[in-house]
Structure 1
Amino acid sequence: MASDPRDPAAAADLTDLAALSGHEQVVFCTDAATGLRAVIALHSTALGPGLGGTRFHPYPSMAAALGDALRLSRAMSYKNALAGLDHGGGKAVILGDPATDKTPELLRAYGRFVESLGGRYVTACDVGTYVADMDVVAEETRWATGRSPERGGAGDSSELTALGVFQGMRAAAQHVWGEPTLAGRRVGIAGVGKVGSRLADRLLDDGAEVVVTDVDAAAVARVTGRHPEVGTAPDAATLAAQDLDVFSPNALGAALDDTTVDALRARVVCGGANNQLAHAGTAARLAGRGIVYTPDFLVNAGGVIQVSDELHGFDMERAAGRTRAIFDSTLEVLRAAEAEGTTPAEAADRLAERRMAAGGRTPWLPSTT
């Protein structure tokens, strides 16, 4: 039976979980008038205000929502550190079905909770929330990014996310094949939504051969309609087993489970999906098969770079310049992993932890000025 957060013993258990996770602050938000139930988790503010999106999802319990918020906010600390941003990690989750429970009144109530933190947490879009939602949240707080251009924001972040993944892939190509290009390489993209489709465009411009798949046939049709030369696969498992140079997961998390890893024939894995590794041993399993994995939280940071830039008056060229620097940081991580005899995931964690411990940019991070 799921624990009831109104029960004192259950609440103590949740508090213990927060303490064990190493988070600075966890805020439980409720508003009876709108039905809002949310959790805001701040993992670290060592580098600056915690930055991370708001996820709207029908969690089965408050404990499940809390666990997701803690996991996601910790990941944001590492992502922001590796991106060279002066931000710590934060994340919020709203309990409910966004299709039926999301209302302007609820979003405004949530915005008031964000505002009450005085800038310690900066929010943006995530699963279940969109640019239009951030416009509503911003009616109640100064600390909402990912807004529409009409409201002073940068709008959709998929273009810069795709740019960052492409730069990470170029760095992996440099590391594996000695040249920072995918020209002549066969790349399989699993998931061609907004990020995956833009990534396909960039790869084709670079001279790559591209094969795609998606659970949404219309998404595949949009890509092949623009690029008839693009190949297709019936599903991600079939695509992963093909003769590829690069496998690129760009849909749901946990794409790299044991079965998929064992079937992979690609030398490189690089994609925009979050939390690609199904379990803690997956990174070592990839390395054991000689497959170079570019950590997802490193290469998909273009979106968070964009929303961070929005706080300073969004400038596309400035944000794109910072995103292109993902090439340098990815190459640094891959070289560090090789030199230390560890996995890229472990090397990326260490570099992020070094910067968080120092409280500022470390020498390995590329200049963004």
Structure 2
Amino acid sequence: MEIFNYMNEYDYEQLLFCQDAQSGLKAIIAIHDTTLGPALGGTRMWTYKTEEEAIEDALRLAKGMTYKNAAAGLNLGGGKTVIIGDPKKEKNEEMFRAFGRFIQGLNGRYITAEDVGTTVQDMDIIHEETDYVTGISPAFGSSGNPSPVTAYGVYRGMKAAAKEGFGTDSLEGKTVAVQGIGNVAFNLCRHLHEEGAKLIVTDINQEAVQQAVDEFGAQAVAPDDIYSVDCDIYAPCALGATLNDETIPVLKAKVIAGAANNQLKNTDHGDILHEKGIVYTPDYVINSGGVINVADELNGYNKERAMKRVETIYDKVTRVFEISRRDQIPTYAAADRMAEERINRLRQSRSTFLQNGHHILSRRS
């Protein structure tokens, strides 16, 4: 892998390798873009097969966070950390203390949070060494479990998508097929039920399915049947890549709006949905409630302020559809364009031009 060529192609700012022999820490911090502000992105711990695979994952995820934070309207750039190791066997206090010191050394350029393979308790240990961490325990001033907030954002985004697809944002009487009933999806189902939507649900966890049936009067179907059910809205809330060559031809939904990450197997599938006239709501825009919530911790967490900001996901989703129509491009590309336009606007406004023969200064914060 030619690292500088890759970084140059996608305009990354920084790639850091952090190791601590005593604790076994092997961490890679990728900072993609800090035009809008410090880079915010979680720390993932994973058993990567090779160091190159870990580097690629860090870079890919950091770029994704730039777009997610920009699209969410946050004054934050994108970054990500991967720690190479088995999260079930190789964690220790010294590892996260050492990692916290590396983050502190960046002096606020990068702020971390929980991700796959790390926990609130791990963030608390990092917090012993640095203030540049979010998603810590509520006792330290954190917002706590982000699932209800993420769910509320998805609900707001789904209403905007319904307006695009059906001409009204009311979900009363609409049939929503929810794939996966984890913490976020269960809270989403509660919002939908309260508005009078009909629910069809599936999950490999039968207990979760039964709870949705009991509490919300949902209809349960087998996991493979969720794609082809008669419904108005398909809400992917489990694994990624469920919009693919096998599922798209059998979908009966007019609108797709859900909490899962990386819903399109690849961009071709976004093109197919666009050609079929199915309203696809880009995942990193609709599921940004969690990052909006933890970002509020940076100003001393205020739940009312955070929820007001999460409500604006409705407007962000609406803007994606407007750009899609304006530029005649699929919505996944319109979401990227919305993020890029915001970054470029801020990049220009943050350039300070000194006249009278002085140097031109360009500040990136």
Q: TM-score, normalised by structure 1?
A: 0.91
Q: Distance in 1 between matches of 2:188 and 2:234?
A: 12
Counterpart residue number, 1:59: 48
- 1:86/1:360 contact within 8 Å kept: no
Give the AA of the match of 1:20: E
Report the 3-state secondary structure (helix = DSSP H, G, I; strand = E; otherwise coil) of the residue aligned with 2:108: coil
Q: Distance in 1 between matches of 2:348 and 2:306?
A: 17
Query: Per-residue deviation at 1:342?
Result: 1.1
Query: Per-residue deviation at 1:360?
Result: 6.8
Matched, 1:78 2:67: yes
Give the AA of the match of 1:283: G
Query: Per-residue deviation at 1:18?
Result: 3.2
Query: Per-residue deviation at 1:215?
Result: 2.1
Counterpart residue number, 2:232: 245
Q: Distance in 2 between matches of 1:360 and 1:177?
A: 37
Report the 3-state secondary structure (helix = DSSP H, G, I; strand = E; otherwise coil) of the residue aligned with 2:247: helix
User: Which of 87, 90, 108 is residue 98 of structure 1 equivalent to?
Assistant: 87
Q: Distance in 2 between matches of 1:345 and 1:19?
A: 24
Fraction of identical pairs, as percent: 44
Q: Which moved more, 1:47-56 or 1:336-345?
A: 336-345
User: Which of 254, 258, 263 is residue 267 of structure 1 equivalent to?
Assistant: 254
- 2:37/2:76 contact within 8 Å kept: yes
- 2:46/2:85 contact within 8 Å kept: yes
1:151-300 equivalent positions in 2, closer than 5 A: 151-227=140-216, 229-235=217-223, 237-300=224-287
- 1:14/1:63 contact within 8 Å kept: no
The structure with the largest alpha-carbon Rg is: 2
Aligned residues: 349
Counterpart residue number, 1:6: none
Q: What RMSD over aligned residues (CA atoms) do the two structures have, in Å? A: 1.6
Report the 3-state secondary structure (helix = DSSP H, G, I; strand = E; otherwise coil) of the residue aligned with 2:201: strand
Matched, 1:332 2:319: yes
Counterpart residue number, 1:143: 132
1:332-351 equivalent positions in 2, closer than 5 A: 332-351=319-338
Q: Distance in 1 between matches of 2:119 and 2:42?
A: 10
Give the AA of the match of 1:65: A
Matched, 1:119 2:142: no
Structure 1 pair 360–21 and aligned structure 2 pair: CA distance change class (3 A):
closer
Report the 3-state secondary structure (helix = DSSP H, G, I; strand = E; otherwise coil) of the residue aligned with 1:38: strand
Q: Distance in 1 between matches of 2:242 and 2:348?
A: 32
Give the AA of the match of 1:263: V
Q: Distance in 2 between matches of 1:61 and 1:262?
A: 37
Give the AA of the match of 1:188: A
- 1:270/1:293 contact within 8 Å kept: yes
Q: Distance in 2 between matches of 1:182 and 1:100?
A: 45
Q: Distance in 2 between matches of 1:121 and 1:200?
A: 35
Which runs of 5 or more residues in structure 1 are unaligned? Answer: 1-9, 363-369
Counterpart residue number, 2:341: 354
Structure 1 pair 132–225 and aligned structure 2 pair: CA distance change class (3 A):
farther
Which runs of 5 or more residues in structure 2 are unaligned? Answer: 350-365
- 1:58/1:97 contact within 8 Å kept: yes
Query: Per-residue deviation at 1:15?
Result: 4.1
CA deviations on 1:294-351 (whole Å, 9 max, x unpaired) are 1101011101101110010001110000000010111121122123221111111111
Counterpart residue number, 1:5: none
Query: Per-residue deviation at 1:22?
Result: 1.9
Report the 3-state secondary structure (helix = DSSP H, G, I; strand = E; otherwise coil) of the residue aligned with 2:306: helix
Q: Distance in 2 between matches of 1:143 and 1:75?
A: 20
Query: Per-residue deviation at 1:225?
Result: 3.6
